[in-house]
Structure 1
């Protein structure tokens, strides 16, 4: 595990078992799980199914009885436990901040243990406070008792990110928050992940939370094994067993609409180009497309401007800075319900969808959402027919 990793690394659990002395059946039994680099993988299930035990084995707070855990391709058994934990961020419920320390001192814990210079630590504290949406001047010298629950959790996330670890473990981190604060900090986590692309293992027993934030969800059942591991939309439309379906509760197309991410559906494609593309070449693409406009992207594929066919017809040479700025966009992690609301309030009938690093990933229109809803309904009907239910 390299210091200062910019993104995440893969984690692989191979036949991992944990049996506690006198505990009867294993808490975790021969668990195989591949966690891709840069994704949020949620361990979901009822109490006692081995979620937290599995998480704690990743950073060796609990040692496996048998099996192996590879982090970035290297067995965790070959890494000194203290060094391992200093390069894995850990966030727990109610943040677990030290009450006698300032916010800055709490965030600085791991960098200080790693021997960072004071100036670098101070800069990192301010950077992280800004990243989690808290003004450094206001919060760095505050004490945890003066913060709301949501603010404390933000500080907990900042502390876990302090040494820029490739892996973040989050054990029911938002469970004690009120519903509004919980939703806001979930959104904040998704925003941060867009920028940081860490490998995040997230434990929860809340189905809606798992469906909202997870790239993949591992649904666990006693004794400590995975009964379905898939993307949220697949789990909702094609539950692997009666246990999964019962745990998810009554599923409906509307619920799926609320919880399906824009990135899970087939997006529209509209012409796009860089500023140095010849306007005549782009004009031909726009004419073939038939919708009368295109997107201009920067060097990192981030949308800059819309340009209309009429504007292109008057340009000789490169497109340059012609067009109108993109003022509204949709994140690929946004739910279809939120995306629909954004579309209805926008001045245009199509919006660009932004993926990782805010790069252009496709476009969304009311027609795209409508097609997605029809696909959701069709999958739901097929699922019911397969299970012998009335359509």
Structure 2
């Protein structure tokens, strides 16, 4: 992971709490000096949960691999085992059988209190302590870990800034004085306070109005670009799952996964009638509105770092035929568009010749939003930025048009397979 925004200190090793030197993988993931922690993988192996007198299991022999640094959404109707599955990850509910590995370590071998201090947890309506200030709410876990007052104060201000709340305005406020969206932001900040590698989010935005909900969803995606936590997100809202999830696990009673795939694959190739019915109609429009730019094939234009020889880049631009290239910095972040005419007769490193980048598209942006951005741009192509704002490809109106045609073709093929078209 790159450096944490704001420069706060990392979570302390478990030895400061438990006396165990060095701690396990979940502690090591959050204790790289001077850096924020990234996520760790989570693996569920034949996990079953049966409640006494509850009839069939709430979760039955569930297998699930959750990659490090991704948002994985558990999606399904009420009673399908989503929240039970989530709560077994941090041992708020103990599995009846099976194993849950977090960063390769079996959760059964981790003291429950120690485990939960390294897993952030966000619930609906934030669950803030009403008698505590915003700062005191965020500081709970760092206090348990024995952080100094100065360090806690710095971390509180850092996190409030990170979630878009001005520390001077919100630090000493009480939850009742905040809007629902602001309370949820504080809830996310509290979950991130000790820099955990794993974040569990149980229908966290379900009580918000549609506008606030969309804004805080966007905020979560922005935070994930910076932090790359492993996030397990529970929802019954299809559109929310499609917007947020890197992968989606669609669950059905009794507590098993019927399809686990990326959003575009689920929309274009639902695994069963149950999945298709749960998704509802209008899949083609959903694909345009919710398919992320990172899910389509991007265009590639010539690019170079500032130290590339201008003559070598000129040859690439001439061979490409479009007449321009993209200049990147050492972290692959776009700097300028350079035209063929800017390179002709130039010797030595290309530097930052050309025109500054005036617009870009995030790889999590939807095709619908990307299309609107392109229509308002003053260039034919816009660079697409991945994590850490690194260059991932380029997008033009033609690229989007080709993606739409491919989506339509997949949708038509799917309907032919199911006999909906003659």
**Alpha-carbon separation, structure 2, partners of 1:89 and 1:64:** 20
1:2 is displaced (CA, Å) by: 11
Gaps of 5+ in 1: none
**Alpha-carbon separation, structure 2, partners of 1:320 and 1:349:** 23
The one-character-per-residue Cα deviations of 1:314-363 (angstroms, maximum 9, x if unpaired) are 42111012111112110000000000000001111110000011100000
Which of residues 153, 157, 163 is equivalent to 1:122? 153
2:176 aligned counterpart, secondary structure = helix
1:353 aligned counterpart, secondary structure = strand
1:123 aligned counterpart, secondary structure = helix
Asked if the contact 1:4/1:165 (under 8 Å) is kept, the reply is no
**Alpha-carbon separation, structure 1, partners of 2:113 and 2:193:** 16
1:380 aligned counterpart, secondary structure = helix
1:188 aligned partner = 219
1:255 aligned partner = 286
Which of residues 25, 45, 49 is equivalent to 1:14? 45
The one-character-per-residue Cα deviations of 1:94-120 (angstroms, maximum 9, x if unpaired) are 000011111111111111111111111
Gaps of 5+ in 2: 1-31
**Alpha-carbon separation, structure 1, partners of 2:46 and 2:240:** 28
1:145 is displaced (CA, Å) by: 0.6
1:139 is displaced (CA, Å) by: 0.7
4+ runs of 1 displaced by more than 6 Å? 1-4
**Alpha-carbon separation, structure 2, partners of 1:118 and 1:53:** 36
2:194 aligned counterpart, secondary structure = coil
Structure 1 window deviating more from structure 2 (56-65 vs 280-289): it is: 280-289
The one-character-per-residue Cα deviations of 1:198-234 (angstroms, maximum 9, x if unpaired) are 0000000000000000000000000000000000000
1:76 is displaced (CA, Å) by: 0.3
1:3 is displaced (CA, Å) by: 12
Asked if the contact 2:305/2:329 (under 8 Å) is kept, the reply is yes
Asked if the contact 1:38/1:198 (under 8 Å) is kept, the reply is yes
1:32 aligned counterpart, secondary structure = strand
**Alpha-carbon separation, structure 2, partners of 1:95 and 1:383:** 41
1:300 is displaced (CA, Å) by: 0.7
Normalising by structure 2, report the TM-score: 0.91
1:316 aligned counterpart, secondary structure = coil
**Alpha-carbon separation, structure 2, partners of 1:269 and 1:6:** 32
RMSD: 1.3
**Alpha-carbon separation, structure 1, partners of 2:393 and 2:297:** 9
2:34 aligned counterpart, secondary structure = coil
1:311 is displaced (CA, Å) by: 0.5
1:206 aligned partner = 237
**Alpha-carbon separation, structure 1, partners of 2:85 and 2:33:** 23
Asked if the contact 1:103/1:144 (under 8 Å) is kept, the reply is yes
For the structure 1 residues 274 and 373, does the alpha-carbon distance in structure 2 shift closer, same or farther, using more than 3 Å as the test?
Answer: same
Asked if the contact 1:11/1:73 (under 8 Å) is kept, the reply is yes
The one-character-per-residue Cα deviations of 1:258-309 (angstroms, maximum 9, x if unpaired) are 0100000000000111111000000111111111111111111111111111
**Alpha-carbon separation, structure 1, partners of 2:393 and 2:303:** 10
Asked if the contact 1:50/1:223 (under 8 Å) is kept, the reply is yes
Asked if the contact 2:335/2:352 (under 8 Å) is kept, the reply is no
1:72 is displaced (CA, Å) by: 0.2
1:92 is displaced (CA, Å) by: 0.2
**Alpha-carbon separation, structure 2, partners of 1:2 and 1:165:** 14
1:4 is displaced (CA, Å) by: 7.5
Asked if the contact 1:256/1:376 (under 8 Å) is kept, the reply is yes
For the structure 1 residues 382 and 241, does the alpha-carbon distance in structure 2 shift closer, same or farther, using more than 3 Å as the test?
Answer: same
1:251 is displaced (CA, Å) by: 3.1
The one-character-per-residue Cα deviations of 1:31-59 (angstroms, maximum 9, x if unpaired) are 00000000000000000000000000000
For the structure 1 residues 84 and 178, does the alpha-carbon distance in structure 2 shift closer, same or farther, using more than 3 Å as the test?
Answer: same
Aligned residues: 391
The one-character-per-residue Cα deviations of 1:234-263 (angstroms, maximum 9, x if unpaired) are 000000000000000013322210010000
1:361 aligned partner = 392
For the structure 1 residues 3 and 86, does the alpha-carbon distance in structure 2 shift closer, same or farther, using more than 3 Å as the test?
Answer: farther
**Alpha-carbon separation, structure 2, partners of 1:293 and 1:130:** 38
